[in-house]
Amino acid sequence: MKLSEKFARQETEETRLARIARRRISEDRADSVRRLYGIDKDAEPSAVGARDTQSSHVCDVCQRRFSLPMHLGRHKKSKHPTVAV
């Protein structure tokens, strides 16, 4: 693959967020995650846009948002290894 093709394939942040928002997980898996974190199903916001308000874990360097702290840690280790974690 040519380098220009690689960069042409890169998506914008808006496109990436739209692609991620389209992903759906099974109800069983969602229930497992809710039980793991002690989230009540009735207290969960139903709107897709409300997910952004739940993303309280933000990268200090690039301001990318994550819903889980382990995702933020993985991002910092892989994308910003020189910055102290």
CB atoms within 10 A of CB 72: 20
CA nearest 40: which of 30, 50, 48? 30
The pLDDT, as a whole number, for residue 24 is 73
pLDDT at 66 over 80: yes
pLDDT at 82 over 70: yes
pLDDT bracket for residue 85 (50, 70, 90): low
Q: Each residue of 11-59: pLDDT tens digit?
A: 778 887 777 777 777 788 888 888 888 888 776 555 545 555 556 889 9
Q: Amino acid letter at 24?
A: R
- In order of their start, the domains of the chain are 1-51 (no CATH), 55-85 (3.30.160)
